Amino acid sequence: MTTYHGSCFCGAVAFEAEGDLAQGTGRCNCGFCRKMRYWEMRLPDPDGFRLLRGAEALAETPRSQDDGLDMHHRFCVRCGTRLWTEGNIPELGGRFVMVCVNALDDIPEADLVAAPVSFANGAQDDWWNPAPETRHL
């Protein structure tokens, strides 16, 4: 387990996250993830996430539909950097935090290149199977 440090582009928001990039990351082909270019690492324990500064600079992307999901996409209101997603979805094992890999500050480029990526088929609500095409993600 590694403690990663993350922040937004302008530095207003900073966090720590305990995880292991080598255990895998995720991308999705749903409309939200495609537009936001989301690339996330799920933390093995949601309590491994700690906001260090910038609570006043956080906002949440409004959901485009009321699908009943407890999912919150956080970003910095000053610079727009996507930071993490948190929520509680039984199908995902309950409470979760997924940090945006792009917001992590102290990752060597070689580790980013080596990180495994799983591609979910959210565009067809077939989350448990891989997306049929991933080159654009």
Q: Give the CATH number for residue 23.
A: 2.170.150.70
User: Mean pLDDT in runs of 10 for the chain (137 residues)?
Assistant: 97 97 92 86 97 97 71 95 93 91 94 93 84 85
Whether residue 136 is contained in a domain is answered as no
Whether residue 121 is contained in a domain is answered as yes
Q: What is the DSSP string of 3-66?
A: EEEEE-SSSS-EEEEEE-GGG-EEEE-SHHHHHHT--EEE-SSGGGEEEEE-GGGEEEPPPSS-
Q: Write down the pLDDT at residue 86.
A: 95
Whether residue 135 is contained in a domain is answered as no
Distance CA 76, CA 65 (A): 22
Q: Are 131 and 123 in contact (CB under 8 A)?
A: yes
Stated pTM of the model: 0.88
Distance CA 43, CA 18 (A): 7
Whether residue 90 is contained in a domain is answered as yes
Largest Cα–Cα distance of the chain, in whole Å? Answer: 40
Whether residue 51 is contained in a domain is answered as yes
How many domains does one find in the chain?
Answer: 1
Whether residue 77 is contained in a domain is answered as yes
Q: Write down the pLDDT at residue 78.
A: 98
For 55, phi then psi, to 5°, come to -55, -35
